[in-house]
Structure 1
Amino acid sequence: MDESEAQQVANTLRQLGIRGIVSPEDHDNPDGRWRVYDSADAATRRDITDEALTVIEGRSRQAGPARGFVVPKSR
């Protein structure tokens, strides 16, 4: 994921009422896993990725199975 895609995920989360910061797990490796955190401060932040996925899963359950984050490309 790159910074633009992370911003799209963050915007989608906000639309769903989930406040969070989308950031790489390891800032030295932006090509690695990205997670959702409750704040930008790496020293005090809490990983809320599982909570965000639970909310998304609950909202999309009527639409069928979902896995991970799916963000449509902007036009």
Structure 2
Amino acid sequence: MDARDVSALHDSMRRYGLPGVLTPADPRNPAGDWRVVDPADQRDITEATLDAVAAAGRQQPTRGFVIARG
């Protein structure tokens, strides 16, 4: 994931309530690759976060109305 993807991923993480902090892989190169880290132990959770965002985006809405046609 590069700097162009960070804003969209950040928005998705907040929308779906996913934890993590987005940070550049190389702090001296913020235009390069980025990763998601667990704030508790600084463990790289990028792949798990990307998978969770993709899965959440595929889910059907759980609220709504069902109107029976009679």
TM norm structure 1? 0.59
Q: What is the Cα deviation at residue 17 of structure 1?
A: 1.4
* SS in structure 2 of the partner of residue 47 of structure 1: coil
Q: What is the Cα deviation at residue 7 of structure 1?
A: 5.5
Q: What is the Cα deviation at residue 8 of structure 1?
A: 5.6
Counterpart for residue 56 of structure 2: 59
Q: Counterpart amino acid of 2:46?
A: T
Report the CA distance shift for 1:11/1:54 in structure 2 as closer, same or farther (over 3 A). same
Q: What is the Cα deviation at residue 16 of structure 1?
A: 0.8
| From 29, 41, 46, the counterpart of 1:49 | 46
Report the CA distance shift for 1:58/1:6 in structure 2 as closer, same or farther (over 3 A). closer
TM norm structure 2? 0.62
Q: Counterpart amino acid of 2:47?
A: D
* Higher-RCO chain (CA-CA 8 Å, sequence separation at least 6): 2
**Count of matched residue positions in the alignment of Structure 1 and Structure 2:** 58
Counterpart for residue 68 of structure 2: none
Task: Tell me which moved more, 48-57 or 9-18.
Answer: 9-18
Q: Counterpart amino acid of 1:51?
A: A
Percent of aligned positions that are identical: 33
Deviation >3 Å, runs of 4+: 5-9
Q: Hey, what's the Cα distance between the residues in 2 that align with 1:17 and 1:10?
A: 10
